[in-house]
Amino acid sequence: MSQIITPDICDAHPEVRILDPLFVNLGGREAFCGPIRTVKCFEDNSLVKQAVAEPGDGAVLVVDGGGSTRCAMLGDMLAAQAAGNGWSGVVMYGCVRDVDELAETDLGIQALGAHPRKSQKRGEGQRDIPVTFAGVTLSPGEWLYADNNGILVAEARLPLEG
């Protein structure tokens, strides 16, 4: 795949939607892209755990964690499982933990920040629905592109040069 440089993508495709600059790049892959799959949950990562256990096929897991900064929704074990199952990345509208290990994991991870406390596991939440945060609605099947400059969403896969 061509190199992902979000400023160049914005220049070539002004129709892309740009998430508000709230996220920190914490994964081992600084740039990543793929079709979106979604989880909506609040301080309960049961459905995140379920999703990363499935084949990712190069997709990006977009998690609407309600913007909570009171616990982590992804840690080293789930990130390693996601990488092993072929996920391209995770965008977490919430926090993650085990950041030193995440930085060594072959997975793109962008989150609001780090928190040492794990989440609850009550089996609550929804999957594969449109989610809205950071000024953008992200729907399953759309394409997400992320690097150190930001996160973009397009209705379909973009032809990238490079």
Q: Which two tokens stand for residue 80?
A: 């390693």
* Residue 98 counted as an annotated binding residue: yes
* Residue 20 counted as an annotated binding residue: no
Residue type, 100: D
* Residue 78 counted as an annotated binding residue: yes
> Which residues of the chain form beta strands (DSSP E)?
17-18, 24-25, 32-40, 60-64, 89-96, 108-114, 126-127, 131-133, 136-138, 143-147, 150-154
Distance from C-alpha of 120 to C-alpha of 123, rounded to nearest angstrom: 9
- Cβ neighbours, 10 Å, residue 46: 16
* Residue 76 counted as an annotated binding residue: yes
Give the annotated binding-site residues for Mg(2+).
98
Known binding-site residue numbers for substrate? 75-78, 97
Q: Binding-site residues, please?
A: 75-78, 97-98
